[in-house]
Amino acid sequence: MLLLTRRQTIFAAIAASLAGRPAFAQSAPAKVRIALDWTPNTNHIGIYVAKAKGFYADAGLDVEILPFTDTSAGTLVSNGVADFGISSEIETLTQRAGGGDVKMVYGVVQTETARLIFKGGRDDIKSPKDLDGKTYGGFGGTWESALISAMIRNDGGKGDVKTVTLGTSAYEALDNGSIDFTLEIYTWEGIAAELEKRKIGRFHYSDYGIPDEQTTVIVSSDAYLSASREHARAFIQATRKGYAYSVDHPDEACDLLISGSNGALMNTELVKASQKALIEGHFLKSEAGVIGTLDPAKADAIGGFLVENGILVDANGAALKENPDFSTYYTNELLD
């Protein structure tokens, strides 16, 4: 009995001395880099929440959020500079068709967040057909003219507009009359305009024959997914947890986004109003409860629209004549 008691005492002492020490088999967190598509905003909120709440750390990941640069996030991913990136569905379809190693792996929003806008109160603009002959303030995207022309034609117009590339704020250009209409992301720019009491008229793309799309997505590359499948799965699932948390705890999530932005976000009212719009509009989480999943039907529809309008070109710059297999442009497997 005495011997047993002495052994128990020794084992207890050893256990106490090892308490708090990391296990020798424990590996260091895997480094993961995600590139932003713009300065921090509510489209990125789930990433900042997942980082601040320790969801990434719990998944064995050390996530670095790369700041926005002039190089698109999809290009950074395709060239191995980033493992993931925030992009758009249209940009991803365009880059992959052209030979870029980029693939959609998470749908940040479940439906289109962009709008065609014009200065409110204009008697000469009642519907898209009234934009014929007017001036569009653009951003240099090859798909913009196809989108606008199709909306106008589908409303009974010709689809002929003048285009200038914006060098100033779109809303200022609308105010001073240098342009008649432009495009916005309603859930951020549009909300900001409403808070500024700007009078804006809006047309939804899908109301005029444009296929709905998941405007904002997270992309990765086949190279990274092949080499680091489990890290990729861990990242996407922790990210979905972050976005789900932001829907259920919007005020806290907004505070975490603001504090994690290193001073880039100073307008708390805008952040919280934007998150409210994303939640109430069922953008981050659909009415059916879908969050993060990429919709095959939407990818096929918007992809087909881009092919039909000569927007998707191959690596040699030749327009695709028929739809490629768009199922290879995305994957939902990391969400399983």
The span from the CA of 315 to the CA of 336, in Å, is 32
- Residue 318 tokens read as 């030749």
- Residue 298 tokens read as 């939407």
CA dihedral 47, 48, 53, 57 (to 10 degrees): 60
- Residue 313 tokens read as 């070109």
**Contact yes or no for 231/152 (Cβ under 8 A):** no
Task: Quote the pLDDT of residue 5.
Answer: 45
Max CA separation in the chain (angstroms): 100
The span from the CA of 44 to the CA of 14, in Å, is 46
The span from the CA of 281 to the CA of 115, in Å, is 14
Task: Quote the pLDDT of residue 140.
Answer: 85
The span from the CA of 48 to the CA of 259, in Å, is 9
Q: What's the whole-number mean pLDDT along residues 228-232?
A: 98
| Residue 319 pLDDT > 50 | yes
Task: Quote the pLDDT of residue 13.
Answer: 44
Which H/E stretch holds residue 318? none
Q: What's the whole-number mean pLDDT along residues 45-51?
A: 98
Condensed to tens digits (0 to 9), the pLDDT of residues 184-216 reads 999 999 999 999 999 999 999 999 999 999 999
Q: What's the whole-number mean pLDDT along residues 113-142?
A: 95
**Contact yes or no for 208/107 (Cβ under 8 A):** no
The span from the CA of 208 to the CA of 206, in Å, is 5
| Residue 15 pLDDT > 90 | no
| Residue 24 pLDDT > 50 | no
Average pLDDT, the chain: 92
Q: What's the whole-number mean pLDDT along residues 48-66?
A: 98
pLDDT band at 160 (very low <50, low <70, confident <90, very high): very high
User: Phi and psi dihedrals of 210, rounded to 5?
Assistant: -90, 130
Task: Identify the CA nearest to 101 among candidates 62, 68, 75.
Answer: 75
Measured in whole angstroms, the distance separating CA 101 from the mean position of its chain's CA atoms is 18
What is the SS3 string spanning 277-298? HHHHCCCCCCCCCCCECCCHHH
Task: Identify the CA nearest to 289 among candidates 230, 248, 252, 235.
Answer: 248
Task: Quote the pLDDT of residue 159.
Answer: 95
Condensed to tens digits (0 to 9), the pLDDT of residues 213-227 reads 999 999 999 999 999
Predicted TM-score (pTM) of this structure: 0.91
The span from the CA of 28 to the CA of 92, in Å, is 32
Task: Identify the CA nearest to 296 among candidates 122, 89, 99.
Answer: 89
Task: Quote the pLDDT of residue 26.
Answer: 60
CB-count burial class (<10 Å; 0-12, 13-18, 19+) for 6:
exposed
Share of residues in the chain with pLDDT > 70 (%): 92
- Per DSSP, the residues of 25-69 read TPPPPEEEEEE-SSSS-GGGHHHHHHHHTTHHHHTTEEEEEEPP-
Q: Is 136 helix (H, G, I), strand (E, B) or coil?
A: strand
| Residue whose entry in the numeric block shows the structure tokens 């240099």 | 140
Q: What's the whole-number mean pLDDT along residues 42-58?
A: 98
